[in-house]
Structures are given as C-alpha cells and as structure tokens.
Structure 1
Amino acid sequence: MNHPDNQADKQAQNPLDPSVLPIKITLIGAGGVATNLGRLFNEQGRGVEITQLLGRSEKSTSVLAEKLNCPYILSADQLTQKADLYIVSITDREIKGLLPKIHIPAASMIVHTAGGVSIDIFKGYFENYGVLYPLQSLRKETSVIARIPFYLDSNNRNSKAILENFAWKAALDYRWADDHQRMQLHIAAVFCSNFPNYLYTLAEDFCTRQGLDFTSVLPVIEETANRLGREGLHPATLQTGPAIRQDIPTTEQHAALLVNDPEAAAVYQYMTQRIMESPLFKQPTK
C-alpha cells in the first residue's frame, strides 16, 4: 500500500495533474497552425498558459508573440525547460531537422500537429511524445475556429494521460487516432479542401479571361458546402449538373468553349467522365 504522504508528494510534483493549473506550453513555429492554436488556447483554454514561442523570423514571431502575450525566441537552444508540453507546428519537412536541436525535460511531452507525419519521428529523441492533429486548414489570417476536431496519439500511458489532460483543459473537441487512421483522415481532407480549391482556381481563371465576375459563383460554393451540414444528407445524394444527368449535349457545348484552355478542358473532361461512370452515384434498381 502506498503511504498517503508519498501519494501527496507525487501529486505535488506532477504539474499536469488535473487539480493543478495551468498547463504550461511552448509553441514551436509561428505559421498558420501555431497562430490559430495559440489564439484558440488563449480564448477557450481553461488552464493553459503559453510560456514561450519559438520561430525563425524576428518579424513574424514577434508579431505573434505580442498577440499571444508571451515571450519569444529565435533559437532552439533557448527553449525554456519549464514547459509541460511542447507543440511543434512547422512544415512536415522541417520537423526531422529540428528534433536534434530540441532538448526538453524528461517528464515533459512533445507533440507535432501534422496529419501526414508518423508519431515515430520522435522515437529516440524524447521519452513522452505524441500527436495533436487539428483536422482543419489553418492560415494566419483565419479567424479563430471554434469547431476544430483534434486527433490525438501518444507513445505510452503516461503521455496519453498528459495529452488527454491538456485537451480537457484546452476545451478541445478530440478523438484518438493512430498513424494509419490519421493518414486516412489527411487524405479525406485533401479531397475535401485542397482539390476543390484547385477547381476554384480554375473557375476564377476562366471567369477572369471571359470578363466575368468570379464572386458571382461564390453563393454556389457556399450552398454546396452548407448542404453537407444538413441532417441526413450525403455528398452522393447532392450531386447535380449535366454529368450526373447524362446530359451529353450540354457537356459537349462546355467542352467546345474550353478548347483554348487545355488545363481546364482536361479537368472538365476527366471529372465529367468520372461522374457519369462512377458507381458511387448509381442508384439501386427497385
């Protein structure tokens, strides 16, 4: 049986115990993800204190530090040793090169925020590590997004407790996902965000060259996205347009108008064919 005094000592020495506030965090990175997470933690975190910000650029890092009301540094060798959680929010390619320069207390935890990077990137460098992946496209100019689902992962029982405690105190909407599940979510996000934005880019370019106002189609974009949030509706049931109707005369007219735009024409032809032939849109026969 543990002696009560020993239990009290252990609890007092654990800065991440649920009864002890706040959790001290250090943000590593000063880009879009770090900016949004920092503002989110400041606005809705019930027990989160941003103790330090590490960035590369003096200008952007100082600006963000002022907004987050925290000190900043420009070199990893100046990292505070008093943070409980270190959140790495830099590009996927930069993470591995930075890790040898980071030194944190053994009892502290480090996480990255990337959807496509394995948790094992930390193996051999730190004792407690994990992932804090926000499933959202985050840019510096983005307003604070209250509804961000976070996907968490950890390398051991202790780090799981640390991360879960942090998520609770930061008032995050979170679930647990391993590397494979997180990569699948990342793929889904690419289909839902990155690819459509490429299509928006093609549409804007087409409108500009035709002397049309691209903002005229923004209500179409908004309505299409908003439909997905309505109860009981699924993307396959919401598909409209000439391709789903098998309206070949209209698609041929469109193709003729795109004859001088080979990139848009190729995308239009491919997408039209896929919609016409995809089994995802086939209705079961009665």
Structure 2
Amino acid sequence: MHTTARSNLAIKNNMAQSPLTSRRGFLRTAVALVPAGTLAGCEVKQSATTAQGASGTAAAGQPSGADYKPHFFDAKEWAFIHAAVDRLIPSDSEGPGAVEAGVPEFIDRQMDTPYAHGALWYMQGPFTQGAPELGYQLKLVPRDLYRLGIAAVNAHCTKTYSHPFDALDAPTRDTVLTALEKGSIELADVPAGVFFGQLLQNTREGYFCDPIHGGNRDMGGWKMIGFPGARADFMDFVNQNGQAYPYGPVSIEGKRT
C-alpha cells in the first residue's frame, strides 16, 4: 500500500484481513460503501429551499472549482474541511486527492439540502444512546455535527498542540483523525466517532459523486477506478471481470474526459 494512503483511516483494521496493494484498491473497496445514487446522482432538481445557499444566493449559478465560495462553512471551518479531507484521501500518482477532486465544495453544497437539515429524519425525542443496531439516535443533524464537531476538534487541537487542526503538520493531523475514529478524544457536544464517521462518509460521497454536485472534479475519481459514469449502456462489459473499461466516464450533463 502506498505511504500516501496511510490516512485512509476507517478501514485500516480490515486491511490485515483483506490486503490492498494500492490507493486504487482502497478506493475500489470504499466505493462499495457509497450509495449508488451518489455516484451517478439520481436526483438533480433543486427545490426552492435547497437552491438557496446560507447567504440567500442561488446555488445554481454559483462558481465552481477554484472560485467557489462556501455558503455554510465560515473561514475556520472551511480550513478544517480542506485539511481533514486532504488527509483522508491524499493525492498521489494514481489519482487526485479529495481537495483536488472538489470534496470541500461537495460537502458545503450538501449542507443546504434537506439531508443536512434532517428534513427526512424522524427527529422527535427521547434522544438516548441505544444499541448499535438501532442506528443513529442523536438529536444532531449533519449541519449540527459539522458546526459543533469542527469547533470541538479545533478546541482540542489548540489545547493539546497549541494550534487549530488545519495548522498542524500532516502526521499530527493523522494522529488526531485516528483518535477521532477510535473515539478516544472527548469532544464537547458531539461524540468523536460519530463526527469522524460523518466526515469520512461525506468525503467518500464527494469523491465519487457526479460532478454536477460539486465533487469528483473532472471525473478523476471515476477514471481512477474505471467507473463508466452515467453512460446509457455498457452491458457489453458487465461480465468481463478483470478487464479495463475501454472508454472514459460520462457525467449526467454529458461531459466526457
């Protein structure tokens, strides 16, 4: 496994059982954990509420890429998101990292969707910690998890290392992320493991989503794992196991690489 993949923290306990030889192998495995609808994007229409950013600016016409300005995250939170996803999926010779792929933009855009507001969740009390098989039981929706979690992690880092998370060097950031994953850091207002899981899941989703959602810029994630994207038909290649797909991916908007 490449040394730059050392920050793919969430599956390190499984790697001894299922060794992966490259970051491409890790991401092929991780993509199985991303909902299929996230990859190709099964719903691209925006409602009147989701089309508005936190500042009231219509999201549909906002700039993408280097010119993108966050609507939900403030400057400190935006710096944290960049620093964290950069360690979860760093760039290397096999493909772009999460930052290059536009994952921060994807996460920020998601914060103004019904999903991030918990609009489709049952959010009535009581809120008690139940058995794991009962699923998520907290009263915090994704927006809350990010706002409270980032502030708590920065407070921990400032107390422990005298700097916020984004100002730490890469090995120290990895140490903090590992502790979050294990739940060995006590955070105010939010469980460390829950916050890490939210961040990791959204990072995966942003890396493999259709570019229309802000992530997977230039379809770099799809190209790296050989995913055909939103092509109408690729049945001729479904059963050719182990064979490289000969054509590049196509996005929902019909863009090709």
Question: What is the TM-score when the length of structure 2 is the normalising length?
Answer: 0.23
Higher-RCO chain (CA-CA 8 Å, sequence separation at least 6): 2
Q: Which has the higher strand share?
A: 1
